Structure 1
Amino acid sequence: MTTATPPRDPETRGVRLVAVLLALMLVSGLIDAVSYLGLGHVFTANMTGNVVILGFAAAGTPGFSVPRSAASLSAFMLGAAVGGRVAARFSTGSRRRWMRVTLAAEAVLLAGTGVVAFAGSGAPSTAYVLIALTAFAMGLRNANVRKLGVPDLTATTVLTTTLTGLLSESRLGDGTSHRSPRRAAAVTALFAGSALGAWLILHHSPGVSLLVAAAVSGVLAVIASGRE
């Protein structure tokens, strides 16, 4: 008599993928630290914040730039469109290959921004190149991450929905959540990336922060290629 193997809990599948997505939250923090602190108060990962900043700039609020915010939004949208094409191209293949291509492309783009940051020497045009490349990379990544459909990690650049679920379904709320550790880890990862990015900018340079982000994305591309 054979004993049927009980089905695996869906929440225990793809542990490697969840770890990769959480690490990408950290990279997002690094990127937004560079863009906001080093490129003129603009977000290139968190488009919710960027749209709000664009509104501030459009109203003439000092310290914000319509061209830079618009450049970021446009590049992100282009990256998301390209990401959708990539997702469609690899949707019939393995998830490992899909993520490997996306993360490898992100690593190359971020490495390029690091080189540009060091070579540009603060030239005004350099800021636009950095904004465009980092926003494009984040749009490319988010389009593909969204297709994976991992609960609470369908976007790796924002936390509004994650925070809402964390509190509304906690013991203080309706008490139904069983994904609180994942949600808390996402918040922690973005916070840690932002803090690390700010520290690197304050004590080193935006280029260093960008190269660290590129290195992390490259490592994640290798990790995502492993067994699911």
Structure 2
Amino acid sequence: MTTAPNAPVTRPGRTALVAVILAFAAGATDAFAFLQLGAVFTANMTGNLVLAGLVQRPDYAASLAGIVTAIAIFAATLYIALRYAEPGSTAKSAAVLAASVVAQVAVLALWATWPSPNTSLAVVPFIALSAVAMACQTAAARRLDSASGVTTTYVTGTITSLMANAADRKPQPAGLRIGVIAALVLGALAGALLIQLHPLYGAALPVLPAAVATVLTASAHALPGTHPSPRMMEPSHEHDRHIRAHLHRRARRAHRDR
């Protein structure tokens, strides 16, 4: 039996748990960024693109530097991380997640030494580091499991996959998708509540789930049966033959129905 080259090589249950934990971290990170770093997002780039168009928003000019920084750093880091972490490489995905943890710790350390920066330019280093963390997380989640339709830093695609498969009555990892959506909301809620107690707690919250996800991913690399063998990495010719036959039958039925 062969496995498609882009199939995840970590154990499914562990991969799902990592996705849910990372979604919680993303929610907490965006809560801190939005509430403390000038009303920008460092995980949800769609939100930043919308904010960039709201020119009549109060303090628009002041927030524009943070918005542009978040988008540019996120995109550049995502590209580099995806180039580094090859599909199916658990070890490299763990390394990318470790980089995410380092960036989150850097945000925490910077906030501890320079709390409550009060200008639009002062928050730019925080935004840049946070965007690096979220881009690394996004890349790692993508490489660990690109087939489930689950994303951990934004959930519009996850909701779309959930509803599309439900409407088409296709089998899907519904529990995982719903869990990721719920975890994102819970992360944002927890972050907001901790910020009310002290902003430093809000900066610290994303570090723990990011570290746990990194450890789980790294330990999965050491488990028996989680490494792709050369045969596992070969394309499944039998699978391709079945797909071609299925498409041929559909084409014949469509031709008859005309």
Contact 1:81 1:140 in 2 (8 A): no
Aligned to 2:154: 158
List per-residue Cα deviations over 1:86-106 (Å, max 9, x = no partner). Answer: 214xx5xx7331222011111
Q: How many residues align?
A: 211
Within 5 Å, give how 1:32-71 maps onto structure 2.
32-56=30-54, 59-64=55-60, 65-71=63-69
CA distance in 2, matches of 1:161, 1:39: 26
List per-residue Cα deviations over 1:44-93 (Å, max 9, x = no partner). Answer: 1001111111111xx232144211111111111121122123214xx5xx
Question: Cα gap change, 1:174/1:210 in structure 2, threshold over 3 Å: closer, same or farther?
Answer: same
Q: Look up the equivalent residue of 2:208 and give its one-letter code.
A: A
CA distance in 1, matches of 2:70, 2:83: 20
Aligned to 1:95: 89
Within 5 Å, give how 1:143-182 maps onto structure 2.
143-148=139-144, 149-153=146-150, 155-170=151-166, 173-182=167-176
Contact 2:52 2:67 in 1 (8 A): yes
Contact 1:166 1:177 in 2 (8 A): no
Aligned to 1:222: 215
Within 5 Å, give how 1:117-196 maps onto structure 2.
117-123=111-117, 124=119, 125-148=121-144, 149-153=146-150, 155-170=151-166, 173-196=167-190
Q: Look up the equivalent residue of 1:159 and give its one-letter code.
A: V
Partner SS for 1:201: helix
How far has the Cα of 1:209 moved from its partner?
2.1
Question: Cα gap change, 1:24/1:34 in structure 2, threshold over 3 Å: closer, same or farther?
Answer: same
How far has the Cα of 1:140 moved from its partner?
2.4
How far has the Cα of 1:13 moved from its partner?
4.6
Identity of aligned residues (%): 27
Question: Cα gap change, 1:75/1:116 in structure 2, threshold over 3 Å: closer, same or farther?
Answer: same
The alignment's TM-score, normalised by the length of structure 1, stands at 0.83
Contact 2:41 2:70 in 1 (8 A): yes
CA distance in 1, matches of 2:81, 2:107: 19
Q: Look up the equivalent residue of 1:66 and give its one-letter code.
A: L
Contact 2:97 2:140 in 1 (8 A): no
Within 5 Å, give how 1:11-50 maps onto structure 2.
13-50=11-48
Name the Cα RMSD after superposition.
2.3
How far has the Cα of 1:211 moved from its partner?
1.9
Question: Cα gap change, 1:146/1:96 in structure 2, threshold over 3 Å: closer, same or farther?
Answer: closer
- Structure 2 unaligned segments of length 5 or more: list them: 227-258
- Structure 1 unaligned segments of length 5 or more: list them: none
CA distance in 2, matches of 1:48, 1:67: 16
Contact 1:26 1:193 in 2 (8 A): yes
The answer on 1:82 being equivalent to 2:80 is: yes
